[in-house]
Amino acid sequence: MLTAASLHKKFGPAVALHSLDLNVAPGEIYALLGPNGAGKTTTINCFLGFLNPDGGTASVAGVNVALDPLAARRALAYIPEQVNLYGHFSGLENLGYFSELAGHRYADAQLRAFLNEAGLQAGAHDQRAAAYSKGMRQKVGIAIALAKDAKALLLDEPTSGLDPAASHEFSALLKKLSARGVAILMATHDLFRAKEDATRVGVMRAGRLVHELSGPAVRTADLEKLYLEAIAA
Mean pLDDT of 168-179: 90
CA-based nearest residue to 179, from 146, 154, 207: 146
Q: Read off the pLDDT of residues 101-110 as tens digits, 9 standing for 90 and up.
A: 988 999 999 9
Task: Please provide residue 170's backbone torsions phi and psi, each rounded to the nearest 5 degrees.
Answer: -65, -40
Helix, strand, coil shares, percent, the chain, to 5? 40, 25, 35
β-sheet with 29-33: strand ranges across: 76-79, 152-156, 183-187, 29-33, 200-205, 208-214
Which pLDDT score is estimated for 158?
Answer: 86
Straight-line distance from the first to the last Cα atom of the chain, in angstroms, rounded to the nearest whole number:
31
Q: Read off the pLDDT of residues 41-99 as tens digits, 9 standing for 90 and up.
A: 999 999 999 999 999 999 999 999 999 999 999 999 999 888 999 999 999 999 999 99
What architecture is the 2-75+151-232 domain classified under in CATH? 3-Layer(aba) Sandwich (3.40)
- The pairing of strands 183-187 and 200-205 is unpaired
Report in angstroms the alpha-carbon separations of 173 from 39, 117, 140: 26, 9, 12
Which residues, including other chains, have CB under 8 Å from residue 168's CB and lie 6 or more apart? none
Q: Let me know: does 118 contact 92? Beta carbons within 8 Å.
A: no
Q: Read off the pLDDT of residues 211-230 as tens digits, 9 standing for 90 and up.
A: 898 877 777 777 778 778 77
Which pLDDT score is estimated for 161?
Answer: 80
Taking the C-alpha atoms of residue 105 and residue 100, their distance in angstroms, rounded to an integer, is: 5
Taking the C-alpha atoms of residue 63 and residue 36, their distance in angstroms, rounded to an integer, is: 29
- Contacts from 106-110 at CB under 8 Å and sequence distance 24+? 106/147
| Domains of the chain by residue range | 2-75+151-232, 85-149
3-state secondary structure of 223: helix
If one compares 26 and 211, the residue with the highest pLDDT of the two is: 26
